[in-house]
Amino acid sequence: MLGDYSLGDLGAIFAMQGFAGLILFSVYVLMALGLAIIFGQMGVINMAHGEFMILGAYVTYFCSEFFQAQLPSLFPAYFFVAMALAFVASGALGMLVEWTLIKRLYKRPLDTLLATWGLSLILQQTYRSVFGPREVGVVLPDWLLGSLPVTDVIEVPINGVFVMCLTTLITVTVALLMYKSRWGQQVRAVVQNRVMAGAVGIDTEKVDRLTFGLGCGIAGVAGSAFTMIGSTGPTSGQLYIVDTFLIVVFGGATSLLGTIASAFSISQTQSTLEFFLSGSMAKVITLLTVVAILMLRPQGLFTLKVRR
Amino acid sequence: MSRDDKTGFHSPLRRKLLMGMAAAPFAGMMPKTAFAQTPATAAVNTTGLAVTDTEVTVGILHSATGTMAISETGSIQAEKLAIAQINEMGGVLGRKIKFIQEDGASDWPTFAEKAKKLLVQDKVAAIMGCWTSASRKAVLPVIEQYNGMLYYPTFYEGLEQSKNVIYTGQEATQQILESINWVVKEKGAKTFYFIGSDYIWPRTSNKIARKHIENHLTGTKVVGEEYFPLGHTQFNSVINKLKLTKPDVIFTDVVGGSNVAFYKQLKAAGINLEKQTLITISVTEDEIDGIGGDNIAGAYSCMKYFQSLDNPNNKEFVAAFKKMWGEKTVIGDVTQAAYLGPWIWKMTVEKAGSFDVDKIAVASEGIEFTKAPEGYVKVHANHHLWSKTRIGLAQKDGQFKVVYESPELIEPNPFPKGYQ
Amino acid sequence: MTTIGTPPKDYLLAVEALTVSFDGFKAVNDLSFYVDENEIRVIIGPNGAGKTTVLDLICGKTKATAGSIRFRGAELTKMSESQIVLSGVGRKFQTPSIYDDLTIFENLEISYPKGRSVWGALTFKRDQAVRDRVEEVSEIIFLKDKLHERAAFLSHGQKQWLEIGMLLIQDPELLMLDEPVAGMSVSERIKTAELLNTIIKNRSVLVIEHDMKFVEDIAHKVTVLHQGKILSEGSMQKVKTDPKVVEVYLGH
Amino acid sequence: MKTAPSFLNRRDMLALAVVAALLLIVFPALLDGFRLNLVGKYLTYAFVAVGLVLCWGYGGILSLGQGVFFALGGYGMAMYLKLEASSVENTKIQSTPGIPDFMDWNQITELPYFWQPFHSLPLTILLIILVPAFFAFVIGSAMFKRRVSGVYFAIITQAIAAIATILIIGQQGYTGGVNGITDLRTLHGWDIRTDSAKFILYFVNVVLLLSVVGLALFVRASKLGRILVAMREKEDRVRFSGYSVANFQIFVFCLAGVFAALGGAMFTLQVGFMSPSLVGIVPSIEMVIFTAVGGRMSLFGAIYGTLAVNFAKTSLSESFPELWLLGLGGLFIAVVLAFPNGLAGIWNDYVQPPIDRALKLRPKHQGDDVAKQAASTAPAE
């Protein structure tokens, strides 16, 4: 396989594949970050995570339509508005869901799985009824399209760079929020000992709701970003759910750093394998490897050893 | 018929068909038009189908939910439109068509279950339905066992033929050979790169394309072939390979949501479809809705029908469709093929002078539909349609500009010799 | 199962140079002690001294970083938890660990030392011997009249007794109890002391306890742990007067 | 004395008689061939649900990959039937006669080695049981020995279901791909497509299902059943009572896998094909909801739950396809929030007590007792 390419080509291959892997990595981090907060910090298995993402995508679609029709002059900047709105919409829905559903299930993690699966079906059907069964096309402003040529073979897609920057920004924000802010302290306190946190005056219900909302909001932003590279339809969200959970679990669930490391290793493996194998087999082998490693090391990549 | 004798039918089917042939002249003596009189139900329905003196029931069987709802909605709409139009003209043999719609829910066993329900419980005279090959394969044994009639609208991989199915879409050779010949002739293409979703239709289509490129044309070759799981959304790796191999033609049969991701990423990676020739056999106007015209403008699609076809039949059809389903709806190849189903069935029933499935199966051969939106089509003895193939150039507005039309009707050949 | 360097005396339990660290924190640090047959040993020490961790290490709940634990000459650190139990070690947890959804009878029956393999459990017969033994034990733990009630409805003290009963039916040679009287009312405490005095016959017992009165009542020998190490060891009298112990306890 | 070791107490016997009468007499008498075949199809999912009651309800192990086992059984049977349908005589138009048609379409010219055993019916039946058991054993050993359980186990089994789907679809030359294995005709020369064959297969299916339920009742009533409950509650206590918890988990997971595979095999026989749409995440999780609706602690509930959900699905999706998904989603949430013990819980809380009073049955029987009392205390997992 390698013999078919010249040495110069091979260099270009690795450069481009590396970059493709980085884009995939950013996408995975975006997908997994919200879930890492919800699952890792709160222990809630949110099977409707993909549907929260798609809500963000639909919000973006509406923004693009609205700006095209009403504010064509501001169209180039609409994407930022869309992302903000996506965050608000998904976050608000998330808080609503937490308040009506999740709140009652904190002690039954497996039941959150079933309930949120039910929620995902309801959301899918709602999207279908409201937005129609077909995929919608999101029109992107021109500056997000195209690519920057580096050499005559290597070209860097602009939206890829955009996704990477966005991912970095969100990750840093979340990390600061979780580890530096007072609110993050409260979240971690609630995670570690709900009763005690409540006893020292933390409003655990509020913390829970905000945490869940934040996770869903990030999913919304991810969905918004995904309109650049993926499809937006009522069932698109389901495509991501298994990958996302595997990333979070592989990373060790409770650790943001673990999630990032796991997204990195999975994306690089898949991207490299994809070049040498068929897409289907690359996916199978990547997933199998992850599952096999998880069987051997169930605690994931990063975890603290504590007395049980 | 001779070709089919060698390559076509499973033996029991052939026997039935031959028996039916003997009855054909008899059927031909029946009155061909039914506008004037309404023949007695007992005469036109000897097998206990759901036919009354005023009504005849057919089934519509598509996915209204699940992942395939995206694609199948258009078919449902087209079939309902055709039925409404037929009823407006007085129905079939003086009977209005009533339809029962069932949801296959994108799940193949459900399709089989619902097909059986339509045939056994509802006794429908015909079923307009199915979209994916998998759903058709699931339904086929049921249709054959209970002797129903299925009008199947999707372009598909061929390798199948049944007395109980009329295939109103194209089989693979009709769609593919013409397009490859065209691109070799027009663009001087020498190298091809295949990219498809990983299931039977793309694989079979690509196999036919490959055989044609390697064995039937000179100086052309396939330089790559890649398959991705259904629903795959990351195509950067294959795009890198495209950049390295620089094929003259990218030949794609990616389906569903993957399409959207593929074209968006292709564009983002700087592959300009104005310069790089890309031919797809899986993108219709329906898909462009989701992909976005900007992202795919410049690609060639090879279909038998485009919404932009410039003929009076089509103008009328498009107008009627939009009137019924809204100005924003688009009409793709399969939607049009689905529209043909009820019409061809109506004409066949009237030719046979009967709703009986056996008589329809025989009478189908030679049915001509001159007012089809795609233009004149005719039913072949193998139950597929003679049709023309067109090549459309995708425009930014989501429509295709037809740049080529095969001069003659192409004969359907579901079991192509030398391509298997 | 061979051991290198047999202990000077044939102890029932020999813990030597035992160390465990959690991310660098040494909860138990180079700990050695020996328990004789039929000895009742009480481990005391301030919070965080590593008492429960020692029990966890012996019964295999936590894996040692270094060191050895030999029970009747067999190395426990290399065995699975169930093997350790089968070799004769029983453990009662700090909080009552019983099966709420099962009846008292069923709770006790599960600890009956027969049918512990998958196949054995499938073919296990509740014969007269089982019933007799369960009734016998239920009498000892004051729960005979509640045999067919669900364990969920028991009081805290009764749950502790039930767990002790489950260990009793298991008949271990070494019985480890983690704070058996914690959270009990005075009357329950008296009854429990009585119960413990009955069941400690003919076996060695390792107890963690804070209640000094209780410790004095039952202990043959006391080991004082502090920061994962032995601070003092010997009779209650000796330990009580040990200035190091006094300092640690008063210091806290 | 209530401790008699008989594994069928009076109430179980009554329940078994009722369900047998319903499936063997009432349904065949009332339903036409089409509906009866449909019930037969639903009942194949009940095999999975019964397994899940043991595995999830009793053992606390939620597997979201039961579709994989269903598929192993279903594909095993389909491979046998397909080989029988692909005689040289039937396939003489192919380039390589005598192999399944989809292999021929994929330029495969020789039957792959792992298809060879499926020429023989006894071997096929053996493999339908052994392959899923082995597979469950491997997964179970790897995970339970390392104490993976609960949420993690659920997610990993779900990933396995996803992998299996991609693999089956991707390896279409060997598996029939997304179409599945279709056009199955005869079982050892017996045409399974005829109405009479379907009628007979329905009864075979019901008898097999009742045997499986019987086996499950036996397991539940044995000490193993109580150990499962004990494990779910206080895993460590069981471990330190001398049991290898992992072995019990492996056993019950294997058992559930084999049950699912039997259901899969019966599915293929009754429906006439096997397809990857029954393997993946969605069908696997739907089977969990059948169990939850019936009551995760109730073996009979599994059957009623499966039938109820599927009847609802069929009738709702016939008239209001759009409502169906909303209904199913709402059902998931309602079961979790309001009825954690499903139909069985409702029955035990509202229907059984008056009946008991009427019949003067003393309410204390182990298995039901557990289910009933669990109803009041909603199990954590």
- Residue B71's H or E segment, with its range, is helix B69-88
Q: What is the pLDDT of residue B10?
A: 43
Residue C181 belongs to a domain: yes
Identical topology for domains B2-170+311-386 and B173-303+390-405:
yes
Whether residue D213 is predicted with pLDDT greater than 50 in this model: the reply is yes
What is the mean pLDDT of the segment spanning B369-378? Answer: 94
- Name the residue in chain A with its Cα closest to that of D327: A122
Q: How far apart are CA C40 and CA C52, in angstroms?
A: 17
Q: How does pLDDT run across A56-90, given as a tens digit for each residue?
A: 999 999 999 899 888 888 888 888 999 999 999 99
Task: Give the predicted TM-score (pTM) of the model.
Answer: 0.87
Residue C232 touches chain A, beta carbons under 8 Å:
no
Query: With contacts defined as CB-CB under 8 Å, which chain A residues touch B265?
Result: 157, 229
pLDDT of res. A54:
93
Q: How far apart are CA D260 and CA D45, in angstroms?
A: 8
**Residue ranges per structural domain of chain D:** 10-377
Contact B111, B139 (CB under 8 A): yes
Q: For helices D366-377 and D195-221, what crossing angle results, to 10°?
A: 80
Beta bridge partners of A232: A136
Alpha-carbon torsion angle C118, C123, C124, C127, nearest 10? -170
- What is the SS3 assignment for A154? coil
Instruction: In whole angstroms, give the CA distance from residue D221 to residue D216.
Output: 9
Distance, in Å, from the CA atom of D247 to the CA atom of D255, rounded to the nearest integer, reads: 12
Q: Rounded mean pLDDT of chain D? A: 86
> What b/e sequence results for B242-270 when a residue is b if at least 16 CB atoms lie within 10 Å of its CB, and e otherwise?
bbbeebbbbbbbbbbbbbbbbbbbbbbbb
Mean pLDDT per 10-residue segment, chain C (252 residues): 51 88 82 88 85 88 88 88 89 87 91 88 88 90 88 88 90 88 82 82 86 80 87 85 79 52
pLDDT score recorded for residue C251: 56
Give the residues across from C204 on adjacent strands: C174
pLDDT in tens, B381-400: 999 999 999 999 999 999 99
Count of domains in chain C? 1
Contacts with C22 from chain A: Cβ below 8 Å:
305-307
**Strongest mean pLDDT among A6-20, A192-206, B348-362, D325-339:** B348-362
Which pair of structure tokens corresponds to residue B53? 């003196």
Measure the CA–CA gap between A99 and A117, rounded to whole angstroms: 17
Contacts of residue A302 in chain C, CB cutoff 8 Å?
Answer: none
Which chains border C (3 or more CB–CB pairs < 8 Å)? A, D
Q: Tokens 């036409």 correspond to what residue?
A: D32
C25-35 vs C13-22, strand pairing mode: antiparallel
Alpha carbons within 13 angstroms on the beta-carbon side of residue D151 total: 24
Q: Do C22 and A308 touch (CB under 8 A)?
A: no
Residues D227/D243, Cβ–Cβ less than 8 Å: yes
Rg of chain A over all Cα atoms, to the nearest angstrom? 20
* B377's tokens: 């089509």
Domain of residue C148, CATH code: 3.40.50.300
Q: Is the pLDDT of residue B12 over 60?
A: no
Taking the mean position of all CA atoms in its chain, how far away is CA D331? 20
Residue D123 has pLDDT above 50, yes or no: yes
Whether C133 is in a domain gets the answer yes
- DSSP 8-state secondary structure symbol assigned to residue B331: -
Q: Which residues of C touch D364 (CB under 8 A)?
A: 148
Chains C and D touch (3+ CB pairs under 8 A): yes
Q: Which residue has the tokens 């294959």?
A: B238
Buried (b) or exposed (e) across D245-260, using 16+ Cβ within 10 A? bbbbbbbbbbbbbbbb
In this structure, what token pair is assigned to residue B161?
């033929």
Q: Which of D156, D166, D381 sits opposite A283 (nearest CB)?
A: D166
Nearest C-alpha in A relative to B241: A275
pLDDT, residue D236, reads 87
Percentage of chain B beyond pLDDT 90 is: 63
String of DSSP letters for D308-365: HHHHHHHHHHHH-HHHHHHHHHHHHHHHHHT-TTHHHHHIIIIIHHHHHHHHT--S--
What lies within 8 Å, CB to CB, of B74 at 6+ separation is: B286, B329, B331, B332, B334, B335, B338
- Please answer whether residues B132 and B110 qualify as being in contact, where contact means their C-beta atoms are separated by less than 8 angstroms: no
How far is Cα B387 from Cα C167, in angstroms, rounded to an integer?
83
CB B82 within 8 A of CB B70: no
Domain B2-170+311-386 has CATH 3.40.50.300: no
Q: Is the CB of residue B155 less than 8 Å from the CB of residue B179?
A: no
- Closest residue by Cα to residue D204 from D125, D272, D270, D271: D270
A/D interface, count of CB pairs below 8 Å: 124
Residue with the bigger pLDDT between D137 and A293: it is: D137
Choose the weakest-confidence range: B43-52, B148-157, D345-354, D355-364: D355-364
In this complex, is the C-beta atom of B226 within 8 Å of any C-beta atom belonging to chain A? yes
* Cross-chain CB nearest to B109 (options D177, D278, D317): D278
Contact check, Cβ <8 Å, A306/C22: yes
Residue D375: pLDDT band with limits 50, 70, 90:
very low
* Helical (H) or strand (E) element with D249: helix D245-271
Contact D219, C148 (CB under 8 A): no
Residue A303, pLDDT score: 60
Please name the residue of chain D whose CA is at the shortest distance from the CA of residue A114. D332
Q: Do chains C and B touch (3 or more CB pairs under 8 A)?
A: no
Give me the count of residues in chain B.
420
Ranges under pLDDT 50 in chain A: 1, 304-308
Q: Does C227 touch chain A (CB under 8 A)?
A: no
> B129: burial class by Cβ within 10 Å (0-12, 13-18, 19+)?
buried
* Integer CA distances (angstroms), B102 to B50, B63, B126, B150, in order: 16, 8, 13, 14
**d(Cα A278, Cα A289) in Å, to the nearest integer?**
16
Neighbours of B195 (CB within 10 A): 27
pLDDT surpassing 50 at residue B67: yes
Please give the helix or strand (H or E) that residue D230 lies within, else none.
helix D223-233
Q: Does residue C2 sit within a domain?
A: no
- Is A touching B (3+ C-beta pairs, cut-off 8 A)? yes
Per the CB < 8 A criterion, the answer to whether C204 and C13 are in contact is: yes
Paired residues of B97 in beta bridges = B56
What pLDDT does residue A195 have? Answer: 80
What ipTM was assigned to the predicted interfaces of this complex? 0.84
Domain B173-303+390-405 has CATH 3.40.50.2300: yes
Residues 6+ apart with CB under 8 A from C186: none
- The answer to whether position C4 is within a domain reads no
Letter for the amino acid at D304? Y
Comparing C-alpha atoms, which of D63, D59, D40 is closest to residue D245? D59
Q: Does pLDDT of D369 surpass 60?
A: no
Q: Which residues contact B233 (CB under 8 A, 6 or more apart)?
A: A229, A230, A231, A239, B257, B258, B261
Query: What are the sequence ranges of the domains in chain B?
Result: 2-170+311-386, 173-303+390-405
Tell me, what DSSP letter sits at residue C39? -
Highest mean pLDDT among A199-203, B92-96, B285-289, D372-376: B92-96
**Any domain includes C7:** no
Q: Which residue of D has its CA nearest to B143?
A: D183
In chain B, what are the helix, strand and coil shares in percent, each to the nearest 5?
Answer: 45, 20, 40
Looking at the DSSP assignment, which residues form a beta bridge with residue A155?
A149
Q: Higher model confidence: residue B380 or residue B200?
A: B380
Under the banding of pLDDT at 50, 70 and 90, the label for residue D361 is low
The per-residue pLDDT for range D65-94, each reduced to its tens digit, is 999 999 999 999 999 999 999 988 888 878
Which residues in chain B touch residue D95, judged by CB atoms under 8 angstroms apart? 420
* Entry field: residues in chain C: 252
Measured distance CA(A289)–CA(A287) in Å, rounded: 5
Structure tokens at D236: 């460590």
Question: Span D238-243, mean pLDDT?
Answer: 89
How far is D123 from D302, CA to CA, in rounded Å?
30
Q: Which residue has the tokens 């000490």?
A: D223
D303 touches D50 (CB < 8 A):
yes
| Exposure on the CB side of residue C49, measured as CA atoms within 13 A | 23
Taking the C-alpha atoms of residue D307 and residue D300, their distance in angstroms, rounded to an integer, is 11
Q: Tell me the nearest-neighbour CA distance from A243 into chain D, angstroms.
A: 8
Is there a contact between C109 and D227 if contact means CB atoms under 8 Å apart?
Answer: no
**C3, C76 in Cβ contact below 8 A?**
no
User: Are D288 and A119 in contact (CB < 8 Å)?
Assistant: no
* Whether pLDDT at D363 is above 50: no
Residue C116 domain-assigned?
yes
CA distance B77 to B321: 8
CA D280 to chain CA centroid, Å, is 14
The nearest alpha carbon in chain A to D331 belongs to A118
The β-bridge relationship of strands C229-234 and C89-92 is unpaired
